[in-house]
Structure 1
Amino acid sequence: MKEGIHPNYREVCFVDLSNGFQFVTRSCAPTKETIKMDDGRELPLFKLETTSETHPFYTGTQKSVDSLGGRVEKFRNKFARVGLKK
């Protein structure tokens, strides 16, 4: 393998800002802040807006947007009464 072309992987703490869920994994994500963990380690901190703990798809709270028909059908129903002028 070539030297100097691989990213610098290190342990990084990811935090979900909406509920405070934290997980540690190896990453090369750029960070500016650090966090002190319960076990005494100080790790780089990466803040996330949503994770699998809060995303509707993973939590089962996702609502189906297309439950009453497709977009084309909605368009046709909306503009059916307008008709074409001759």
Structure 2
Amino acid sequence: MKSRIHPVSRPVVFRDRAADSAFLARSTVDSAKFTEWEDGNTYPVVDVEISSESHPFYTGRARVLDTAGRVERFERRYGGAVRPLR
């Protein structure tokens, strides 16, 4: 690897405001805010809107779309009027 062209990777605390949770990970993101972590060290903190703690896919609150009903409604509305492209 070439020297001095890669960003510095360091531990950063990511704080999810929606779920009121935080996790420590390595990142190249820089922040002016700092927080004290559970291990007693001070780390830069980055506030995020959504993470795996609050995302519906990971929490099990995801909605399942009724695709079969949508296709049936389309078929009723347009019937055989729409021909596939060749």
Letter in 2 for 1:35: T
Indicate the residue corresponding to 2:58 in structure 1.
Answer: 58
CA distance in 1, matches of 2:29, 2:72: 44
Q: Secondary structure at the match of 2:61?
A: coil
The more displaced of 37-46 and 58-67 is 58-67
Q: Secondary structure at the match of 2:7?
A: coil
Letter in 2 for 1:54: S
**CA apart distance, 1:60:** 1.1
Q: Secondary structure at the match of 1:14?
A: strand
Q: What TM-score results when the alignment is normalised by the length of structure 2?
A: 0.74
- Aligned residues: CA RMSD: 1.9
Indicate the residue corresponding to 2:2 in structure 1.
Answer: 2
Indicate the residue corresponding to 1:40 in structure 2.
Answer: 40
CA distance in 2, matches of 1:42, 1:63: 39
**CA apart distance, 1:38:** 2.6
In structure 2, list runs of 5 or more residues that go unmatched.
79-86
CA deviation string 1:23-64 (max 9, x = no partner): 101100131211111322110001111111111101111011
**CA apart distance, 1:22:** 0.9
CA distance in 1, matches of 2:5, 2:66: 46
In structure 1, list runs of 5 or more residues that go unmatched.
81-86
1:59/1:5 Cα in 2 relative to 1: closer, same or farther (>3 Å)?
Answer: same
Letter in 1 for 2:46: F
- Identity over aligned pairs, percent: 37
Q: What TM-score results when the alignment is normalised by the length of structure 1?
A: 0.74
